[in-house]
């Protein structure tokens, strides 16, 4: 009996396996944990500091309304990072999961693509949960916000692919501190809490080069219903960024698993 080979290198089977592991309701538990932190930020900064700030100049919306979409974008990003970062590393280094995967018809490309897809799915779950929180706080401005979560899949794609590439080079848990070294400043300064116009020109250019800037612009644009062609540019940035890293991840993981 020769079964038909799974399509797409078996990427969907990797997603299926991850879902299987989390069956019995734990995706929802995970979603709860993933939105816990952004809720705290929304309360402390959006609502708390927002009370002092009032409306955001140049955008003319209440501060909490301005911050909420950025927290939505970073929450989705973080979910994808979790799955493709330390979680993938544990499976690679300790379980030798991928080593046993690639002796089946699942390919390295299938494994890598599957993990990125899974990161995107996690981002989707988190995004849906946090969108509900935003609605519950009464921070919805425009019906276009419904598209913010699907658009966030691009965030999951871009950051998932990049973090899986990073995981391919990791030598031990401590290396994830380097990732934190990049992620934390990016979270704080990539227009999460204030518009890019507060920076002097050269710094603006720097911030506008960051992937999280484009992630936040995209989600914020949709959430506030400020549509324009620049949103397509933000989306294109994330797609190109993710595609480049996906290619890199495939090559790196190929070398790791099939030396």
Partner 1 sequence: MSEALIEATGLEKTYPARNRQGTPFRAVAGVAFRVHRGEAFGFLGPNGAGKSSTMRMLAGVSAPTAGTLRILGLDPVADGRRVRARLGVVPQDDSLDTQLTVEENLLVYGLYFGLSRRAVRTKAGELLAFARLEDKAGERVENLSGGMRRRLTIARALINDPEILLLDEPTTGLDPQARHVLWERLFRLKQDGVTLILTTHYMDEAEQLCDRLVVMDKGLIADGGSPRELIERHVTREVLELRFPPGEHEKIGRELGEQVEVLPDRLLWYADDGEQALARATELGIRPLTALVRRAGLEDVFLRLTGRSLTD
Residues 102-141, interacting with partner 1 (CB under 8 A): 102-107
Q: Which range of residues in 5-13, 31-39, 163-171, 241-249 is near partner 1 by CB under 8 A?
A: 5-13
User: How far is 85 from 82, CA to CA, in rounded Å?
Assistant: 5
Closer CB to partner 1, 15 or 190, in the complex: 15
Q: Which range of residues in 8-16, 65-73, 156-164, 234-242 is near partner 1 by CB under 8 A?
A: 8-16
Q: Which range of residues in 40-48, 93-101, 148-156, 233-241 is near partner 1 by CB under 8 A?
A: 93-101
26 binds partner 1 (CB under 8 A): no
Structure tokens at 16: 């299926």
Q: Which of 8, 17, 33, 247 binds partner 1 (CB under 8 A)?
A: 17
Q: Which range of residues in 49-57, 89-97, 194-202, 211-219 is near partner 1 by CB under 8 A?
A: 89-97
**What's the N-to-C CA distance of the chain in angstroms?**
31
Q: Which of 42, 73, 101, 151 binds partner 1 (CB under 8 A)?
A: 101
User: How far is 115 from 97, CA to CA, in rounded Å?
Assistant: 12
205 binds partner 1 (CB under 8 A): no
171 binds partner 1 (CB under 8 A): no
Structure tokens at 179: 């990732």
User: How far is 111 from 106, CA to CA, in rounded Å?
Assistant: 7
The distance of closest approach from Cβ of residue 121 to partner 1 in the complex, given in angstroms and rounded to an integer, is: 17
Closer CB to partner 1, 48 or 105, in the complex: 105
Q: Which residues bind partner 1 (CB under 8 A)?
A: 1-6, 10, 13, 16-17, 20-21, 95-97, 99-107, 257-259
């Amino acid at each position: 009996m020769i079964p038909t080979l799974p399509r797409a290198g078996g990427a969907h089977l990797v997603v299926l396996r991850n879902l299987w592991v989390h069956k019995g309701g734990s995706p929802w538990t995970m979603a709860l944990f993933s939105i816990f932190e952004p809720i705290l930020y929304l309360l402390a900064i959006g609502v708390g500091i927002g009370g002092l700030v009032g409306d955001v100049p140049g955008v003319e919306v209440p501060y909490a309304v301005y911050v909420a979409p950025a927290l939505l974008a970073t929450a989705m990003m973080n979910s994808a990072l979790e799955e493709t970062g330390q979680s993938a590393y544990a499976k690679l280094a300790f379980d030798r999961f991928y080593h046993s995967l690639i002796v089946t018809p699942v390919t390295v490309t299938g494994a890598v693509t599957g993990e990125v897809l899974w990161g995107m799915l996690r981002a989707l779950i988190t995004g849906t949960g946090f969108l509900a929180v935003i609605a519950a706080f009464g921070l919805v401005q425009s019906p276009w916000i419904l598209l913010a979560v699907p658009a966030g899949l691009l965030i999951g794609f871009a950051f998932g692919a990049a973090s899986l590439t990073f995981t391919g080079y990791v030598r031990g848990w401590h290396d994830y501190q380097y990732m934190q070294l990049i992620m934390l400043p990016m979270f704080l300064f990539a227009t999460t809490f204030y518009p890019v116009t507060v920076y002097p020109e050269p710094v603006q250019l720097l911030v506008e080069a960051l992937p999280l800037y484009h992630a936040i612009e995209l989600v914020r644009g949709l959430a506030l219903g400020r549509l324009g062609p620049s949103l397509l540019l933000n989306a294109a940035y994330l797609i190109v960024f993710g595609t480049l890293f996906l290619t890199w991840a495939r090559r790196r993981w190929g070398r790791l698993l099939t030396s």
